[in-house]
Structures are given as structure tokens and as C-alpha cells.
Amino acid sequence: MVAIPAQYLMIYELLWTPPDPGDRLSYDDWLTGYPGLVQL
């Protein structure tokens, strides 16, 4: 895992388009699967 110091981080945007329209994660799935994400 690579960490970026806060002074170097300006913007990060995650764009994800699932191949199947029904393939999506709920809010709870995101919290469980990616606990290190910070909600902006």
C-alpha cells in the first residue's frame, strides 16, 4: 500500500461503472469492504 502525504493530495475521484447494471455496492458494503475510505 502506498500512502500519499496530505500536502501532496489535492483531488482524488473514483469513477466506477459496473459491467452489469445490477452490480453495485450498498453504502454498508462500502463501509465494510473499504473501512479506510473517507467520505467527503
Alpha helices in 1-40 (DSSP H): 27-33
pLDDT at residue 6, as a whole number: 77
pTM value > 0.75: no
**Alpha-carbon gap, residue 37 to 40, rounded angstroms:** 9
pLDDT at residue 31, as a whole number: 86
pLDDT at residue 34, as a whole number: 85
Using one digit for the tens of pLDDT, what is the confidence trace for 4-40? 787 777 776 777 777 887 787 888 988 898 888 777 6
pLDDT at residue 40, as a whole number: 66
**Alpha-carbon gap, residue 9 to 6, rounded angstroms:** 5
Q: What is the tally of helices (H) and strands (E) in the chain?
A: 1, 0
**Alpha-carbon gap, residue 33 to 11, rounded angstroms:** 22
pLDDT at residue 1, as a whole number: 67
